[in-house]
């Protein structure tokens, strides 16, 4: 039940929801950049939300299935195909031995997530199968995929009638709640940070009213933004403190950085704001050169948005009960 990598793509690495509980030891959380797409792909493949998916970036890989399986692809639209025949995002797709999954030109987004029914056979490291590229741990040998790599699926569908399974999966109506859809937004909702008082009032107004362009020097650790520089009113020295996904810190050059999945564990730069967790996928799917704008919301509003997202995932989980039943799961 193996899969062979024919082409690795630009950057393809296995990710789950992260390596939690070890920041105090200097181990970053990591995990999927677009947690929403990662969770959706798993649910549509009949998995729990935290199974490892393959995060592919811009140029997807080519993978040959040596055994039958079921996959789902969510996130960026990179024109996936099986044996050169187009397949849709956001649907469970049955694959057969010898099938080749490939990707074409980008239509939207930056990162797509491939989930396999039953998950991929990877050894957990500190409770997570996520790949931490800088540290060389987790995932498949602690690195991005290379040509010739072989990895295994955990589920065996070799005894299933694949035509029947494919037909029955296709009959299942899948409606994604609006909260979970890939809605285009350039306005990122953000909560004013505890260090906002260290900035000049003009800098805070500038941050919440200006366009910022995603820098080419943006990656899984952080997104650097190009735009108006933000001046501090006070140059008080700050103690380093724990960082979080979506914190927007401002180094001495005044150009903000959004901390992303592979962020450092601690940081001492002033944080002007924190992006709402529901909008982190928008940042994660943004390309260098894309324009982002931040709008201020309250902490209570951010919490309500977070609750609405989780309720939408709960509703989808219930709606997908017939899909899980097809795989013998409840």
Give the mean pLDDT per block of 10 residues along the chain (330 residues): 93 96 90 96 95 96 96 96 96 96 94 96 95 93 96 90 91 84 78 93 95 95 96 80 92 95 90 96 95 96 95 93 84
In this structure, what are the phi and psi dihedrals at residue 298, rounded to the nearest 5 degrees? -85, 165
Question: For residue 85, what are its two tokens?
Answer: 């025949």
The SS3 assignment for 125 reads strand
The predicted pLDDT at position 194 comes to: 87
Point out which residues pair with 120 in neighbouring strands: 153
Residue 184: its pLDDT value, please?
65
Report how far residue 304's alpha carbon sits from residue 278's, in angstroms, rounded to the nearest whole number: 10
pLDDT at 328: 79
The architecture (CATH level 2) of 187-297 comes to: Beta Barrel (2.40)
Q: State both tokens at 90.
A: 């956001």
Two tokens, residue 283: 């940042």
- pLDDT for 151: 93
Which pLDDT belongs to residue 168? 92
- Interatomic CA distance for residues 258 and 125, integer angstroms: 26
Question: Nearest to residue 101, comparing CAs of 142, 139, 153, 28?
Answer: 153
pLDDT computed for residue 214 by the predictor: 97
Rounded CA gap, 312 and 304, in Å?
A: 12
Residues of each domain in the chain carrying CATH 2.40.100.10? 187-297
3-state secondary structure of 302: helix
Distances (CA, A) of 261 to 24, 271, 297: 16, 17, 22
């Amino acid at each position: 039940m193996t899969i062979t990598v024919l082409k690795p793509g630009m950057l393809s690495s296995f990710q789950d929801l992260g390596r939690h509980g070890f920041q105090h030891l200097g181990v970053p959380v990591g995990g999927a950049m677009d947690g929403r797409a990662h969770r959706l792909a798993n649910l549509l493949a009949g998995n729990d939300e935290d199974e490892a998916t393959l995060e592919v970036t811009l140029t997807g890989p080519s993978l040959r299935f040596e055994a039958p399986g079921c996959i789902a692809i969510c996130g960026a639209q990179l024109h996936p195909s099986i044996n050169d025949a187009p397949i849709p995002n956001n649907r469970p797709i049955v694959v057969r031995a010898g099938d080749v999954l490939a990707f074409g030109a980008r239509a939207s987004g930056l990162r797509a997530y491939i989930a396999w029914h039953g998950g991929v056979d990877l050894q957990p490291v500190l409770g997570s199968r996520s790949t931490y590229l800088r540290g060389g741990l987790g995932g498949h040998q602690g690195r991005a995929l290379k040509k010739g790599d072989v990895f295994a699926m955990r589920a065996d569908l070799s005894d299933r009638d694949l035509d029947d399974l494919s037909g029955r999966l296709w009959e299942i109506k899948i409606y994604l709640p609006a909260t979970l859809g890939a809605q285009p937004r350039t306005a990122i909702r953000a909560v004013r940070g505890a260090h906002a008082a260290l900035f000049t009032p003009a800098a805070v107004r500038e941050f919440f009213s200006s366009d910022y362009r995603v820098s080419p020097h943006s990656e899984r650790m952080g997104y650097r933004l190009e735009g108006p520089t933000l001046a501090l009113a006070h140059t008080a020295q700050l103690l380093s403190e724990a960082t979080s996904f979506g914190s927007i810190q401002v180094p001495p050059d005044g150009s903000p950085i959004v901390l992303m999945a592979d962020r450092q564990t601690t940081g001492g730069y002033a944080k002007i704001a924190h992006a709402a967790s529901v909008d982190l996928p928008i940042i994660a799917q943004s390309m260098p050169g894309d324009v982002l704008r931040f709008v201020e919301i309250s902490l209570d509003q951010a919490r309500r948005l977070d609750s609405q997202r989780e309720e939408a995932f709960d509703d989808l989980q219930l709606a997908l009960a017939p899909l899980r039943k097809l795989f013998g799961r409840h």
